[in-house]
Amino acid sequence: MEICIELVRGPVYLTGEDVECWVKISNTLDESATIGWISAQLNCFCSVSDDKISNIDPKSRKISVESQNKTSFIPTQGESGLAVLSTKTKILACSLEIGPGEIKKFLFSENIPHNAPPSYRGNALKYSYKLCIGSQKLGKPATLHRLPIRILSVDTYNGSVQREEEDRMGPSNPFIEETTTKDPAVDIIMQTVQEVTSRKQASYFVIANARGKVCKFCLYKKHFKLGEDIVGSFDFTVGEIECVQYTVSLQQVETIEPEFKVKEDQQEKIVNQSKQHEVCLGFSHSHLILPVPLHLTPSFSTNICRVDYRLHFEFVTSVNRLEKQEIPEEEGGVEWQGPTKLDIETLVWDLPITLHSTFPTHAALHSNIPTFLTDRL
């Protein structure tokens, strides 16, 4: 006997939409076989690091691997972690008789709660999702099969968007066949994300220290989708201090909530995800194009931790004013030799931004998660 689990649409999904998979049972024997039951469930497991997170019951985090002679469906069996989300178990088949060479096919569909945590692999904890399919061949112990999926959270979607078509003016005729097509759930959910990330409200920041202005920075928006470019510009003409070079990094900040910290002074975990470095000595203007990797987790918050993002700026400025070299009026080029020694100081600045989900099909392009699983019963 063989079981095959195959996702209908890729390995990446949004909170609030349905995940669907086909469950196929094939009889490779020369005689008929009976399957007692086939059940399915969606689970989210939270694994934590003991030296970074406390106040979580260790008994609930370590689920023992018990004997193989079990006949019940236990989706959390053998998992190291706390099941923070378990949907209601669905029975796909019961007392299923399969003849030699015959194939039975079932569709499992489950809605992902809009307030579920996203898939995340951090420094202190990990959230992972798995489709758990259990089955039992008559007279044999139950078998459990797990297929991992990736979930992207959508904070702007609160579950209030209805999938049904909008109410029409006037009475409807029940005898007329409905020909209009409904938008897929992922398109409806992503509309809220598009509305937030498409708004371009330019923000201007004057970067300065105790000695004066360095530059003026312009950021066209503060909300970005995964895979998008963060675009900004620098204006050094307003500066009173010479800027030699600058570095901009996209940083992920993982913060553990106070009641779950091991130490009161436990620091945030900061990870650089992408970086741009530019030598700007003598520049009047410069620009920023910083990509947001598709593998990142959107900004989110749970009762245990919070994950935020920010732009980290480092400006290297000259302590002494540099003499500007004049550009000759005659034709031909001119060679400029930079100073061999500079007295410098560094100015550091952080600017919070928010990352949102992207379309699941885009995120799946850079995902190595399998979309099907084949196993023996």
Bridge-partner residues for 146, per DSSP?
132
Closest CA to 115 of 71, 151, 163, 165: 151
What's the domain range around 213?
199-322+341-356
Q: CA 292 to CA 267: how far, in whole Å?
A: 25
Q: Please check whether residues 47 and 125 belong to one and the same domain.
A: yes
Q: Is residue 160 part of a domain?
A: no
Note down pLDDT in tens along the chain; length 377 residues: 899 999 999 999 999 999 999 999 998 888 898 999 999 999 999 999 888 988 776 544 444 444 445 777 888 887 778 889 999 999 999 999 999 889 999 999 999 998 999 999 999 999 999 999 999 888 888 889 999 999 999 986 555 444 444 444 455 556 555 544 455 788 888 888 998 998 888 999 999 998 899 999 999 999 999 999 999 999 999 988 989 999 999 999 999 999 999 988 889 999 999 999 999 988 899 999 999 999 999 999 999 999 999 999 999 998 887 766 666 666 666 666 667 788 889 999 999 999 999 999 999 988 889 999 998 88
Q: Are 278 and 149 in the same domain?
A: no
Q: Are residues 129 and 275 in the same domain?
A: no
**Considering its fold, how many domains does the chain have in total?**
2
Task: Record the tokens describing residue 287, joined without a space.
Answer: 């620009």
Identify the CATH number of the domain in which residue 150 sits. 2.60.40.640
